[in-house]
Structure 1
Amino acid sequence: TVGRATERLFAAAAGRLGPQLPLRSVLLQRSLRRRRGEFDLVVSTANEFAVQGPSVQYVHYPQFRSHVDDEGSLPERLWSRLAVPGGVPSEARLLANSSYTAAAVDRRYGREPGVLHPPVDPIEGGTAWPDREDGVVILGRLAPDKRTLAALSVVDRVRERGHDLSVHVVGTAAPAYREYAQRVESAVADRPYATLHRDVSRDRLEELLTSIKYGLSGKPGEHFGMAVAEFVAAGMVAFAPDSGGQRDVLDGDPDRLYDSPEDAAATIAAAVDRGDQPRLRRDRFARDRFHDRLRTVVRETVPAAARRRHTT
């Protein structure tokens, strides 16, 4: 609850200026320091902080010290010096959203977090597997980093192998990526077997995911891979690059992970040839699992004196 005014300010400005995450973190951290004595424990779900005293910090991906990975600009180095000048305090209990993120935290801070995958509830119901559409869903922002066009070309290659698959592109586009979104729209229009679904409701998204057989992610190095997790939650057969958090989501299955567009087409075609059905449980990342583990970590981290104070 610390820094609500700061959070509201940055939320209002995000549409024009972007999220400004480093500045937001520095300001929130300073606000928290002024009130640190009021709390027994700090719990952050906004990546790493240099907060003294017991804390639980959930890292989606480390936002500072990227220069350790040879990726940091001069501004990034300055933000890192302001935000985490001495690294993450030893009292902090670190959690990461994937093994991939945990390894990045370890490289930058010399601390390997525990892995706690984010909550993705199962999407119940839908069409029985034999009656589902023989199609592929490409889900996510219409943006270059998501490689939507590359994923479309993968489906083209699968079709060239003799599989009559449809493709559904589902996503939104920020104003900054208007040109790329237009390219996606044109590419879909050129393919009679393709459909573009923009800005769909949650109900419509779930209807699509539970009525189509396959899901495809085109982006390597996702910190977790929420779209892939949604495919799993909807009972689809999902495919993703063999990198990033998607490896966790797909349990490292070589029949679902690919190294290149050519390998992606071959991997999908082989699964179709075999008549593969989903192997992973829909409730693999259900929220109860997440909540139970987080509560356990908090109980383990709250100082013993504070626990005695609150139980007497």
Structure 2
Amino acid sequence: MADILIIHRDFDTLAGAESVCLNMVDALQDAHDVTLLTLTPPDIEAANGQFQTNVDGSITIRTPGHIQSLADISTGVLDVFFGHTGAYPRLHAALLNWYARRHCSEYDIVISTWNEANFGHSSMVYVHSPAFNLRHTPEPHGVSGAKFEGFDYLLSRLAGFSGAQLTSDLVVTNSSWTQDLVDETYDRQGIVVPPPVLTDDIQRRPWSERERGFVTVGRVAPDKRTKKCIEIIDGVHEEIREAHLHIVGPESDVEAGYVAEVRAMTDAREYVQYEGGVSRERLTGLLASHRYGLHGKENEHFGISVAEFVAAGMIPFVAPGGGQTELINGRSALIYDSPSAAVEQILAMMNGTRDADALKSALPDIDTEYGRKRFQREISEQVQRVLDSR
């Protein structure tokens, strides 16, 4: 039995990164003494319900209040000098990593579930997407310009980097695409352990019982290209009047202007329904009752909504690049380069030019290759690998 410290920035939201963290805690808590270090503690009961985990409510959770206060103050400074830069999560993670480096000697192994870090101690990091040293990351994924490069340098130093060197014993990424990005940034190879995809409550209805409609799932934001998804359905609806779209996903106050534009577009179209944030039951019901999924983000790090589309027996259409293409085994018929190309490919499918059954059979078995039990088994093996190498 080992003493393990798992570090996760915060639990202000319960999304994919939080699922990785709590599934990891669930996998390790019976065999080891696990401590969770975070700025804001999770609601264990709510998280267990959402992720179908069994995290023990009595696990040790450390929340350094002075680091949280420093994070709040630093966020205010960023507002004054930088405006909104999207750097708040990176800053908060860097501060937490700085704190962890001063306490990691109390543990046998330290694990970061919120991207890369250097601890100077036996460690493993799970990288969803590089968060530091972005000035060394290839465009368009990095940062450029003196102000942002300077800020990235300071953040990276705070997070424990003296350069683009990642010294953790083991680097784990969520997809091969992310692994390549880590390799380009840090010249460091690792292993891929895809995040857990919840499949227990996903239904697979017969194709004939499904509506000839689409569902897009994800935060309503420019990088998710929600408006582009609507434009694609515009083109499809011109030829197939049954075609319609459900937009599912939470809103962000930071992107309030974009959300307003999306809402205005949906209000003007009877064939587009704005669902917003919905219950898990509503989401799985939509996936089970529709034939097609539509994913707008290019270069998605993993694309858990695409995995859920496939698990539900839908046919997903995805933008190029990123881990989402791995979830459809790289099938070119399902990867579009532009909205007009998407319309053409979708119409070929809906009009019967392409064989839907053949395409569905070529997609992966999500439960076997990406399911929760698979994740917990693989991550336990990798943690033991680091422990054995000490």
TM, length-normalised to structure 2:
0.72
96, 103, 121: which one pairs with 1:53?
121
> Would the aligned equivalents of 1:139 and 1:170 in 2 still touch at CA under 8 Å?
yes
Give yes or no for the alignment of 1:42 onto 2:110.
yes
SS of corresponding position for 2:292: strand
Instruction: Tell me the distance in 2 between the aligned counterparts of 1:296 and 1:217.
Output: 32
Give yes or no for the alignment of 1:9 onto 2:92.
no
Give yes or no for the alignment of 1:227 onto 2:305.
yes
> Would the aligned equivalents of 1:154 and 1:261 in 2 still touch at CA under 8 Å?
yes
SS of corresponding position for 1:56: strand
Give yes or no for the alignment of 1:276 onto 2:352.
no
Give yes or no for the alignment of 1:33 onto 2:68.
no
SS of corresponding position for 2:114: coil
Instruction: Tell me the distance in 1 between the aligned counterparts of 2:290 and 2:168.
Output: 47
> Would the aligned equivalents of 1:120 and 1:230 in 2 still touch at CA under 8 Å?
yes
Give yes or no for the alignment of 1:150 onto 2:228.
yes
**Could you tell me which residue of structure 1 aligns to residue 57 of structure 2?**
none
SS of corresponding position for 1:302: helix
Task: Note the residue ranges of structure 1 that are not aligned, 5 or more in a row.
Answer: 306-312
Letter in 2 for 1:293: E
**Could you tell me which residue of structure 2 aligns to residue 255 of structure 1?**
333
Deviates more, 1:77-86 or 1:282-291: 77-86
| Structure 1 residue 44, shift from structure 2 partner | 1.4
Give yes or no for the alignment of 1:292 onto 2:377.
yes
Give yes or no for the alignment of 1:76 onto 2:188.
no
For the structure 1 residues 304 and 102, does the alpha-carbon distance in structure 2 shift closer, same or farther, using more than 3 Å as the test? Answer: closer
Give yes or no for the alignment of 1:24 onto 2:24.
no
> Would the aligned equivalents of 1:224 and 1:246 in 2 still touch at CA under 8 Å?
yes
Task: Note the residue ranges of structure 2 that are not aligned, 5 or more in a row.
Answer: 1-35, 39-61, 80-85
Deviation readout 1:250-297 (Å, 9 max, x if unpaired): 111112111111111112122222351433324141011111111111
**Could you tell me which residue of structure 2 aligns to residue 96 of structure 1?**
173
Instruction: Tell me the distance in 2 between the aligned counterparts of 1:124 and 1:169.
Output: 18
Percent identity (aligned)? 35
The equivalences for 1:147-186 within 5 A come to 147-162=225-240, 164-186=242-264
**Could you tell me which residue of structure 1 aligns to residue 188 of structure 2?**
111
Deviation readout 1:10-51 (Å, 9 max, x if unpaired): 8x9699987722322222222222222221111211111111
Instruction: Tell me the distance in 2 between the aligned counterparts of 1:19 and 1:9.
Output: 16
178, 196, 201: which one pairs with 2:274?
196
> Would the aligned equivalents of 2:218 and 2:250 in 1 still touch at CA under 8 Å?
yes
| Structure 1 residue 213, shift from structure 2 partner | 0.6
Instruction: Tell me the distance in 2 between the aligned counterparts of 1:118 and 1:55.
Output: 19
Instruction: Tell me the distance in 2 between the aligned counterparts of 1:193 and 1:186.
Output: 13
Deviation readout 1:175-198 (Å, 9 max, x if unpaired): 222222222122112222221112
| Structure 1 residue 163, shift from structure 2 partner | 6.0
TM, length-normalised to structure 1:
0.89
**Could you tell me which residue of structure 1 aligns to residue 342 of structure 2?**
264
**Could you tell me which residue of structure 2 aligns to residue 308 of structure 1?**
none
For the structure 1 residues 136 and 91, does the alpha-carbon distance in structure 2 shift closer, same or farther, using more than 3 Å as the test? Answer: closer
Give yes or no for the alignment of 1:301 onto 2:369.
no
Instruction: Tell me the distance in 1 between the aligned counterparts of 2:215 and 2:180.
Output: 30
Instruction: Tell me the distance in 1 between the aligned counterparts of 2:389 and 2:246.
Output: 53
| Structure 1 residue 62, shift from structure 2 partner | 0.7
Deviates more, 1:117-126 or 1:241-250: 117-126
SS of corresponding position for 1:81: helix
Deviates more, 1:98-107 or 1:62-71: 62-71
| Structure 1 residue 235, shift from structure 2 partner | 1.8
State the aligned residue count.
304
